[in-house]
Chain A
Amino acid sequence: MENLYAILPILIKVAVVVAVLLLLPLPLVWLERKIAGHIQQRPGPMRVGWHGLLQPVADGIKLLIKEDHIPSDADRFLFKIAPVVALVPPFVVFVAIPFGEPVEVFGTQLMLSLSNMNVGLLFILAISGIGIFGIILAGWASNSKYSVLGSLRAIAQMISYEIPMAFSVIGVVMLSNSMNMMDIVSAQKNLWNVVYQPIGFFVFFVSGLAEAQRIPFDLPEAEGDLGAGYHTEYSGIRFSLFMLSEYLVVVFLGFLNVILFFGGWHGAPPFVPETVWLLLKVAFFIWVFMWFRFTFPRYRYDQLMAIGWKVLLPLALLNILISGLFMF
Chain B
Amino acid sequence: MARTVQKKQGWIGWLFFSDMWSGLRLTLRYMFSKTVTHQYPDHEKWLPYSRHRGHHFIKTNEQGDVNCVGCELCAKICPCDCITVVPYEDEKGNRRPKVFDINLSRCLYCGLCEDACPADAIKLGQEYEVASTNTGALVVHLEDLIAAPRKAEEGAGTVIPASLKKNGSAKTTPQDNVKGHDWWQLIRREK
Using Cβ atoms and an 8 Å threshold, which residues of chain B touch A108?
none
User: Is B94 an interface residue when CB atoms closer than 8 A count as contact?
Assistant: no
Chain B proximity of A202: nearest CB distance (Å): 10
Chain B residues within 8 Å of chain A by Cβ, number: 18
Number of A residues with CB within 8 Å of any CB on chain B: 15
A46-B39, A296-B23 are contacts. A41–B32 as well, Cβ < 8 Å?
no
Question: For residue A37, which residues in chain B have a CB less than 8 angstroms away from its CB?
Answer: 35
- Shortest C-beta distance, B34 to chain A (Å), equals 8
A41–B35 touching, CB < 8 Å: yes
Q: Is A291 among interface residues, defined by CB-CB distance under 8 A?
A: yes
Q: In the complex the two chains form, is A43's CB within 8 Å of B28's CB?
A: no
Query: Does A35 sit at the interface, judged by CB under 8 A?
Result: yes
Pair B39/A39 contact, Cβ less than 8 Å: no
Main secondary structure of the interface of A (DSSP, over half): loop
Contact A47 B24 (CB under 8 A): no
Interface assignment of B61: CB less than 8 Å from any CB of chain A:
no
Is the pair B24, A42 in contact by a Cβ cutoff of 8 Å? Answer: no
Chain A residues with CB below 8 A from B20, complex form: 296
Q: Which residue of A lies closest to B39 (CB)?
A: A46
Contact B33 A295 (CB under 8 A): no
Say if the beta carbon of B18 comes within 8 Å of chain A.
no
Give the distance in Å from the alpha carbon of A39 to the alpha carbon of B39 in the complex. 18
**B 27-38 to A, binary, CB cutoff 8 A, 1 in contact else 0:** 110111111110
A42 x B32 contact (CB < 8 A): no
Cβ-defined contact, A35 with B35, below 8 A: no
Contact with B along A24-64 (1 / 0, CB 8 A): 00000000000101111111001100000000000000000
Q: Are B24 and A40 in contact (CB under 8 A)?
A: no
| Interface: B106 (CB within 8 A) | no
B188 on the A face (CB < 8 A): yes
A277 — which chain B residues lie within 8 A by C-beta?
Answer: none
Most buried by A among B28, B31, B33, B37: B31
Residue of A nearest to B20 (CB): A296
Q: What are the interface flags for B152-191 relative to A under an 8 Å C-beta threshold, 1 for contact and 0 otherwise? A: 0000000000000000000000000000000000011000
A-B contact pairs, 12 of them (CB 8 A): A39-B27, A41-B33, A41-B35, A41-B188, A42-B37, A43-B37, A46-B42, A291-B27, A291-B28, A295-B24, A295-B27, A296-B20
Residues of B within 8 A of A (CB): 20, 23-24, 26-28, 30-37, 39, 42, 187-188
Given contacts A41-B33, A291-B28, 12 further A-B contacts (CB under 8 A): A38-B30, A38-B35, A39-B31, A40-B30, A41-B187, A41-B188, A42-B35, A43-B35, A46-B42, A47-B42, A295-B24, A295-B27
